[in-house]
């Protein structure tokens, strides 16, 4: 069921989401990470530090994510 939601979202925005999507049924994550709307993309490094937190979607998000993920991988 949740995979169907992801598939529908991917088709709507025209991209494949290249990272895990979390459906957290108890709704604890929004308050922990100051989620103000959907979609919200959060990147957390191995130490648990939030490196990226953005609400909404625009065409530049893939470039932003690629840059941050590559920086974290190459550390």
pLDDT digits 0-9 by tens, 14-61: 666 666 777 777 888 888 888 888 788 888 888 999 999 988 878 788
pLDDT of residue 18: 66
Distance (Å, whole) CA 16 – CA 61: 12
On the question of pLDDT at 1 being above 70, the answer is: no
Span 3-18, pLDDT tens digits: 777 777 767 766 666 6
Give the residue, 67 or 2, on which the prediction is more confident: 67
């Amino acid at each position: 069921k949740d995979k169907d939601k992801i598939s529908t979202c991917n088709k709507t925005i025209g991209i494949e989401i290249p990272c895990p999507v979390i459906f957290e049924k108890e709704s604890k994550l929004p308050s922990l990470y100051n989620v103000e709307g959907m979609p919200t993309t959060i990147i957390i490094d191995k130490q648990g530090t939030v490196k990226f937190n953005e609400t909404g979607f625009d065409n530049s998000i893939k470039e932003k994510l690629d840059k941050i993920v590559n920086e974290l991988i190459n550390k």
